[in-house]
Amino acid sequence: MTLVEQSFADGPITVDLMARAISNGMSRQSKRMSEQEAYDIAFHVLNFFGYSRYVIDNMLEPEDRDAFYMLEDLGILDTEREETTLFDGREWRIHYWLIRPENVKKLAYSSGHKVDEIVSTESMVYDGLPDDVWKMKI
């Protein structure tokens, strides 16, 4: 099992789950944020990650980076860097942002909410489909 598979073994990090983690994390720091603001930040940040566990820092705008730093303070994101030597001998540093799924889930559940309470009806759009639909090849 790869690192990504281990991280998401209990299911993916949904926007609703991330929003709940942000909201609970902000509460722990005695800061207030509306549910809509937490949802908007979660949606925005998760769009950078897609299906990956990391994002290269170079693709972020300063406003985006501010949101990432805020989530790092909450323990939701972490940074990592890689150094490599270029052909001309210069050192090149690549900075990454990593999502910490275990911390997202801890924060999301810290107020006693269960996953079923967090997931919105929008994210359950496929629940009504029969099982054989997933076996069809198009």
Domain range for residue 70?
3-135
3-class secondary structure for the chain?
Answer: CCHHHHHCCCCCCCHHHHHHHHHHHHHHCCCCCCHHHHHHHHHHHHHHHCCCCEEEHHHCCHHHHHHHHHHHHHCCEEEEEEEEECCCCCEEEEEEEEECHHHHHHHHHCCCCCHHHHCCHHHHCCCCCCHHHHHCCC
Chain-centroid distance, C-alpha 21: 10
Amino acid type, 42: A
The total number of structural domains in the chain stands at 1
- The tens-digit pLDDT sequence of the chain (138 residues) is 444 444 455 678 999 999 999 999 988 777 888 889 999 999 999 999 988 899 999 999 999 999 999 999 999 999 999 999 999 999 999 999 999 999 999 999 886 444 444 455 555 667 777 778 777 776
